[in-house]
Amino acid sequence: MAMLETSLDRWALRWALAWVFGWALFCVVTPIEVGFDVLHYHIQDGWSALNGRLERDLAPSGMHSYFNPVSHMITQALIETFPAAIVSFLLGALQAAILIPLYLLCRRVLVSVGHEHRISALLLALAGFFNYAMLTVTASIRVDHWSAGLFILALLVLVPKDGAPADWKRAGVAAFLVGLSAGLKLTSVIHVAGIAAAILVAVPGLRGRLQAAAAAGVAGLSGILLTGGWWMWKLWTVVGNPVFPMANGVFRSPFGPLENFRDERTPAQSIWDVLFYPVNAASRPYNEFGTTWMQDLPIAFFYIAILILGWVGYRTYRDNEQGAEVPPRALLTVFAGAFATLTVWFPLFMVGRYAMSVWMVSPLVFAATLLLIWPALREPRRALGWFGGMLAVCVISANVVQLRRLPVPDMWGPYIQVEVPSSVDFQNAEVIFTGPYPSSFLAAYLPESATFMFTQTQGWADGAERALKQMVRQRIDTSNGPFVAVMVDVGSDEGSDALPVIFSRLRGELGLVADRKACGDFVTSVDNEQAHWIACPLVKAD
């Protein structure tokens, strides 16, 4: 252990490069994640933006067609440029790099509480990195961890290496980083609250905080405009709402209902959902990935830290006349950032991926607060046992979520392989992606002359998509076709996802008739035994 401690100091860059390279190689050999969101809008949105399709197509991925596509443009550009192995390697390297600022943050906070032990910092950083949300974006083109990484980097900026308080310049840089995150993905708005709280703690004095707030406001807005401004302007000019489909009660775009929309499945329904969040995953009405209580167990570390800091705060207030020690500013800065992030996240989203950053700092905050009240934990062997145990808990709980993953058929071939049915003519066709399962990723593999739209998506999105569906019906009524429906065939004749049900709804809602015998099968690298994609020519009902 002494050798590892020394090498982390002397050869830090070598360790960092070895970690990034090793994790990137791991991502290359890991089956890629091809879950609902990837096939529903991540590929299509990136392809659409790169090819200027927003004005031509009509919501091929439903309301998700209007989300900021910058990150999807980056991943789609990689997919179109490099073979699968290089795509996974580059995205894996970027994911692995997040551990570096997390380790440095752990190091600085631990030093502030009197524990100058690099192995402890590494164990806690790894414990934070190995959370279930991070593993769901491993070997994936989903990029929620980009937002988490920017927030971790922003917290690092607010915790200087020399232990000095942050100033308005650091506040501006931190806010700019979070602004980049918020502009990239609107759900990162939770980190705006987090960094605001962290800045108020990190910068001392009323005047200093006022200066920091002003700098953070300007810098944060600049970050938002840099990554999201052009898309906001695009949406404003095309649909009349810069954040469509959100906040349409304010902007009143004709593309959506004239009221604000949000996914009502996910937010906390009561205070009990919040208080028991670390262990109630199996009993929640909605859980994005799994049903095991273990997936959120690491967040319990943060809950315990809240209790410890509350007790420390009470003790400090009680013993103030005796000069009781106040928790260090570095620890309080990280705690405030995570706490404010959760405070906004619970009523808005309660989807773990969005608050991945809190999972990442929870082991650190718990360990640092424990060191405050238990100085004996600073002894290296005892710390190794405790923090190693925490890492084990995090690794185990991170591996309980099941995802739809499939191996790439050829590492040096395309990231996703698609063979279009030759029996169906897509040239100049009006292609409708339909059914409850995602199909719009196939737009990137169909002729450029085709036009794309949607119908029959997930029921929870109906509130945001009613007007869009009416516009699809109007476009079909005024078009002479030809029409083609693309959908998933699950091999069943019963249920909302069965072909007879989908065909019936196409006729009832759009006046289009399909003949199963005329349908052609796609052959893709994301097919499985339960489902594959088909294309069916459509004609208008008499």
How does pLDDT run across 374-388, given as a tens digit for each residue? 999 999 899 999 999
pLDDT value at 8 more than 70: no
pLDDT value at 215 more than 60: yes
pLDDT value at 323 more than 60: no
How does pLDDT run across 410-455, given as a tens digit for each residue? 999 999 999 999 999 999 999 999 988 899 999 999 999 999 999 8
Per the CB < 8 A criterion, the answer to whether 497 and 437 are in contact is: yes
* Angstrom distances, CA of residue 95 to CA of 91, 99, 294, 388, 446: 6, 8, 23, 22, 31
Higher pLDDT, 490 or 234: 234
Q: What was the pLDDT predicted at 349? A: 85
DSSP code of 507? Answer: I
| Cα–Cα dist 525/408, whole Å | 7
Chain-wide mean pLDDT for the chain?
91
Q: What was the pLDDT predicted at 351? A: 86
| Cα–Cα dist 162/372, whole Å | 20
DSSP code of 137? Answer: T
Angle, CA 5 vertex, CA 4 and CA 6 arms, to 5°: 90
pLDDT value at 294 more than 80: no
Which residue matches tokens 């929640």? 284
Q: Which two tokens stand for residue 55?
A: 């004005």
Q: What was the pLDDT predicted at 2? A: 59
| Cα–Cα dist 346/316, whole Å | 29
| Cα–Cα dist 17/44, whole Å | 33
3-state secondary structure of 59: coil
* Angstrom distances, CA of residue 421 to CA of 265, 334, 437, 506, 516: 37, 54, 19, 21, 14
pLDDT value at 409 more than 80: yes
Higher pLDDT, 331 or 286: 331
Q: Check: pTM over 0.85? Answer yes or no.
A: yes
User: pLDDT band at 5, cuts 50/70/90?
Assistant: low
- C-alpha torsion sign, points 32, 38, 40, 45: negative
User: Mean pLDDT throughout 265-285?
Assistant: 82
How does pLDDT run across 91-105, given as a tens digit for each residue? 999 999 999 999 999
User: What are the structural domains, with CATH classification, of the chain?
Assistant: 10-245+259-398 (no CATH), 418-540 (3.40.190)
User: pLDDT band at 3, cuts 50/70/90?
Assistant: low
Number of H helices, E strands in the chain: 22, 10
Q: What was the pLDDT predicted at 219? A: 97
How does pLDDT run across 49-107, given as a tens digit for each residue? 999 999 999 999 999 999 999 999 999 999 999 999 999 999 999 999 999 999 999 99
DSSP 339-383: HHHHHHHHHHT--GGGGHHHHHHHHHHHHHHHHHH-GGGGSHHHH
Give me the helices (H) in 454-533, please.
Answer: 462-477, 499-505
Q: What was the pLDDT predicted at 201? A: 97
DSSP 288-318: SS---GGGGTTHHHHHHHHHHHHHHHHHHHH
pLDDT value at 271 more than 70: yes
pLDDT value at 272 more than 90: no
pLDDT value at 122 more than 90: yes
Instruction: Give the lowest-confidence range in 98-107, 268-277, 301-310.
Output: 268-277
